[in-house]
């Protein structure tokens, strides 16, 4: 039986989330220092989260506009 090496229990779901949210464009890290895989993943996640929030806000606006429009149609000026 193989034993998994001990890792933070949070790592897997966060990692999956990060991969899910990550962008696809290719841009190598131009750096002499090691940016660290974990730190890069976190940035992907932050970038992804920001993207999700922008899209979310857009849909929220559409939804509120839609509801407002219903209200206007019911009470024409």
23, 57, 62, 72: residue in contact with other proteins (rule CB under 8 A) = 23
Task: Write down the residue that tokens 């002499």 correspond to.
Answer: 32
Q: Is 52 in the site for other proteins (CB under 8 A)?
A: no
DSSP secondary structure string for all residues of 9-47: TTHHHHHHHHHHH----------SS---HHHHHHHHHHH
Which position among 1, 2, 29, 71 is part of the footprint of other proteins (CB under 8 A)?
29
User: What are the residues binding other proteins (CB under 8 A)?
Assistant: 5, 7-8, 10-12, 14-15, 18-19, 22-47, 50-51
């Amino acid at each position: 039986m193989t034993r998994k090496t001990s890792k933070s229990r949070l790592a897997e779901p966060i990692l999956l989330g990060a991969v899910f949210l990550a962008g696809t464009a290719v841009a190598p890290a131009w750096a002499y220092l090691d940016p660290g895989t974990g730190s890069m993943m976190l940035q992907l996640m932050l970038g992804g989260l920001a993207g999700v929030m922008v899209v979310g806000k857009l849909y929220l606006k559409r939804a509120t506009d839609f509801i407002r429009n219903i209200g206007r149609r019911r009470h024409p000026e």
